[in-house]
Amino acid sequence: MSRLLRFAAIFAQLSASVLAQGAGDAQTPQMILAEIQRLRHELESVTAMVERTQILIFRIQIAETAVNRLTQKVDEARSELQAARQQHKWTAEQIQSMESELGSTLDARRKAQISSLLPTFKNNLEELSAAEQEAQVKVTEAETRLRDEQAKRDDLRDTLDQVDKVLAKLPRPPAQ
């Protein structure tokens, strides 16, 4: 809106100066028309550039939201992996402890109890190994998606920087 007001003010000044030079000049209307067409073209160019910039900013915001969401998913996947590793380690330590106790205890009842628990713990250890591998795959996939989305966001930022450089090169209207 302020550009439109500036345009009107420039047009009024231009018209006044042209009229002051002489109303009889045949080229005056042609000059005014040429100036109006030039200003219109510049206004259309700037408007298009502003619209493109707004679209880029919106797309960057969307990409930033996606990056934040994927960062959270990576963190969650890493936490799941860490928990799976800790469970795996604890179960392996329990098995080792049971096997050690089984070899050193003389109590038959305790040996029978350990012997009945040991297969269950070993089965759990196998399941935990599979869960740990699945968690590792989730981490890897989440990190890959995050890197891809970060690259898209960075490309959009680069494009916005290029638009900014183009806009910086445009001539500025004189201050009034």
The pLDDT value recorded for residue 22 is 54
* Angle in degrees, 0-180, between the axes of helices 108-169 and 28-104, rounded to the nearest 10: 170
Sign of the four-CA dihedral 146, 152, 157, 161 = positive
* Domains defined along the chain, listed by start: 2-15+27-160 (1.10.287)
Residue-wise pLDDT for 78-129, tens only, equals: 999 999 999 999 999 999 999 998 888 888 899 899 899 999 999 999 999 9
Task: Find the largest Cα–Cα distance for the chain.
Answer: 125
pTM, to two decimals: 0.66
Residue-wise pLDDT for 108-119, tens only, equals: 899 899 899 999
